[in-house]
Amino acid sequence: MSQDKSQNVQQFPPFNDKNEEAPDIGGGLPVIEYWAKHTISPEGPKLWKTLLHHSACLSCSWGTGGQKGGFTNEDGEKLQRCMKSVEAISAEIKPGIKQQFFEQQSITELQKLTSMEADRLGRLSFPMILRAGKSHYERISWSEIYQIAEAGFRKTPERVASYSSGRSSNEAAFLLQLMMRSLGSNNLADCSDLCHAPSTYGLQQMFGTKTSIVSLESLNEADCVVLSGANSAYNHPRLMNELIKLRERGGKIIVINPIMEIGLVKFGSPAFPIKSLIPGSDIASLYLQLIPGSDSVLFTGIQKALIETGNIKTEFLQAYTEGWEAVVENARSISWETITEICGVSQAEIEAAAAIISNASCVVFGWAMGITQHQNGVDNVYSIGNTALMSGNIGREGAGVMPVRGHSNVQGFGSMGVTSQKIKKGLQEALERLLGRSLSTVKGYDTRSLIEAADEHKVDTLICLGGNLYGANPDSTQAKRALGNIETIIYLATKPNLGHFHGLAKQNTIVIPVLNRFENPHKTTVESGNNFVRLNDEGKTHLKNADLIPEVEFLTELAHRIHGEYPVDWRQLRDTKFIRKLIAQTVPGYEKIGTIDETKEEFTIGGRIINTPHFPTENGKAKMFVTLLPQLTLPDRKAFGASEQTQGIVVALITARSYAQHNTVVYQIEDKYRGMPHRNCILMNRIDLEKAGLKEHQRVTVKGNAGKLENVEIIHGAVRPGAALMFYPEVNVIFNAQVDKRAGTPAYKRVPVFVYAN
């Protein structure tokens, strides 16, 4: 195990002044304590039963479990289950919420709950409705639900919409889009619109594919990983095992992140209990703490350094790419002064990164929402792809581009056609054959445009398959108002969330309790971010006397009532094996799903992993794009209505999850690893505090362009000066984010705010 600091390019990351509460390593013993607490608690037996069930992990899209068992990944490696997974299961095995609870708690009371309190109420266990003018949710019969839902979806196609999260199965996703497209609606908003849509868009433009082109097996061949804008130490913990192994075999890791995330410096992994868990393993060889939003410029700097040292693969570019000359010329012509001023990283550090890349044999470029959630998110993705191509790190084993996705089946939803964006030609043609007509050409609503349209009274009916549309959107005030203009909203969920209490429809808000991934009466499948499809076995719910429904059953019945037997016998599809047959016939690369019931053979989707420099683009070449310099000037304090006398500072706020949170679901109040004791904190650099005359633990107001949060506690931490961090979804109330025009994703990672003394 490489514990030798001399192997690291820096002794420490540049802005490493963390607070005293933050630990010296990520992961480590707290992970084991958490496991122990939960697995030997009264819920322990249920938890173990679920962990051992043959179904995929509910949480992140790195993916584990399935037919190989709960602790095994696609390469057969054992001990592959993290704390995040336990957090997710623990929430799902809670008791059902009693009817009496909703009879007693008015909607006003429910709206006072925090995200964590809402989640801890337990499992939804009966269908309920909040009718216009009523103060309480009440139980509703299934016949009335179908009556309201059917009437709602008989409106004109442009006025109905869906929203979904990656919690559900491929089968439910396929049904949802088929039902909507059979109506003639492309309004298939999805949570990925808010996170990795720039990856999907950018990769399609460059490589003709929308997902990672690297398999887990291939990652094991890499000797360098460049990890940008991803806090994998919490959000994809098992990726850390891969990074530890890479360092162990002498490889190097470049981390690019404005915040020093302690787990990306040193991580103690329970998968290596002796050598890693307590001492921690070195992760970053080089940590670049750039100005938020400047990633494309930093990567242009890396390209420039590669050019200047004669380390670009010109023959490779000539043979396998197009547009490369302009990209090379762009990097050559931008001055080092411009690059370093915009990204805030020194020329020496950038050159060190380029040297690591050029000295490595096989480099994988991974990223997450720190790259995509910017106004120039697509350019950020292009700049990574350009760097990978210029250094010849595409189209062979051990190298490539690897967006690291969020929710466990978020990628599967895209593959099944749940998107408002243009779908792949093969899928479109197959769906058109099935429908016997062309798909609607009316542009569908993505998540942001759905909220905008609802705000303009253009949406009548909305079905939400999981997720928290209200909580995930910026400008919570607008989201609430917009959802309030929709006549009928139907939420399908396993547990309550704030969306069910704040995202209320004008007439009828219906909450339908559904079975989760390990409880369904039929098998289902999910797709990991590494393009691996897992099969989930049937299961049973622990809830007694509950009135739950499989999502597939609800969708097939609703579709049957709307469409009859067009274009399929919907009721037959209640048995999910028939959906898998349809998927095999319609979704390119998914052919093997047609026989998975018999073979139980989980598989990597055909055509996704690219290990030769031939790309599924029209001419077989990768396309390179010049990226523009982003405008990253922060507004003056006057833009926030503040006078010169007000003690405060304008910073670029990064909105992020805590180390105890999955998307909008909060599991614990405290963020141990950043030393943030509660949710209403702002993490700032000491230099900024001194500049503004503010002090640690002082209570301040944080103001954005749509509102403010008061009584926010300042915590000093290892974030670069000029940037700060707060937690979403709570902070979403203060800003109305700019969006990347090509992908529709809001700039959650660079929100100008004014922080001032109360």
Residues that bind ligand SF4 (CB under 6 A): 57, 59-60, 62-64, 81-82, 84-85, 236-238
Q: Which of 206, 529, 205, 228 is nearest to 373 (CA)?
A: 228
| Nearest CB to ligand SF4, comparing residues 409 and 421 | 409
| Nearest CB to ligand SF4, comparing residues 97 and 216 | 216
| Nearest CB to ligand SF4, comparing residues 105 and 211 | 211
Q: What single-letter amino acid sits at 281?
A: S
| Nearest CB to ligand SF4, comparing residues 267 and 324 | 267
| Nearest CB to ligand SF4, comparing residues 71 and 101 | 71
| Nearest CB to ligand SF4, comparing residues 241 and 330 | 241
Q: Which of 548, 527, 542 is nearest to 608 (CA)?
A: 527
Provide the β-strand partners of residue 701: 756
| Nearest CB to ligand SF4, comparing residues 54 and 236 | 236
In this structure, what token pair is assigned to residue 109? 């009371």
| Nearest CB to ligand SF4, comparing residues 57 and 753 | 57
User: Distance (Å, rounded) from C-alpha 290 to C-alpha 343?
Assistant: 5
What is the smallest separation between the CB atom of 520 and ligand SF4, expressed in angstroms?
19
Q: Which of 158, 151, 189, 119 is nearest to 448 (CA)?
A: 189
The enclosing H or E element of 150 equals helix 142-153
| Nearest CB to ligand SF4, comparing residues 62 and 174 | 62
What is the smallest separation between the CB atom of 505 and ligand SF4, expressed in angstroms?
33
* In the block, residue with structure tokens 């009928």: 488
User: Distance (Å, rounded) from C-alpha 754 to C-alpha 733?
Assistant: 14
Give residues with Cβ within 8 angstroms of 527, minimum separation 6: 170, 409, 411, 412, 415, 533, 534, 605
**CA torsion 222→227→233→239, rounded to 10°?**
-30
What is the smallest separation between the CB atom of 411 and ligand SF4, expressed in angstroms?
12
For 232, counting Cβ atoms within 10 Å of its Cβ (0-12 exposed, 13-18 middle, 19+ buried), the class is buried
What is the smallest separation between the CB atom of 60 and ligand SF4, expressed in angstroms?
3
Per DSSP, the three-state class of 512 is: strand
Q: Which of 330, 349, 269, 353 is nearest to 83 (CA)?
A: 269
**What's the N-to-C CA distance of the chain in angstroms?**
49
| Nearest CB to ligand SF4, comparing residues 234 and 603 | 234
47 close to 70: Cβ distance less than 8 angstroms: no
What is the smallest separation between the CB atom of 171 and ligand SF4, expressed in angstroms?
20
User: Distance (Å, rounded) from C-alpha 564 to C-alpha 179?
Assistant: 11
| Nearest CB to ligand SF4, comparing residues 84 and 374 | 84
712 close to 651: Cβ distance less than 8 angstroms: no
Burial pattern 554-591, b for ≥16 Cβ within 10 A else e, equals bbbbbbbbbbeeebbebeebbebebbbebbeebbbbbe
In order of 32, 447, 493, 627, 676, the CA distances from 115 in angstroms are 25, 21, 15, 38, 17
What is the smallest separation between the CB atom of 495 and ligand SF4, expressed in angstroms?
17
| Nearest CB to ligand SF4, comparing residues 57 and 255 | 57
The enclosing H or E element of 726 equals strand 723-727
What is the smallest separation between the CB atom of 212 and ligand SF4, expressed in angstroms?
14
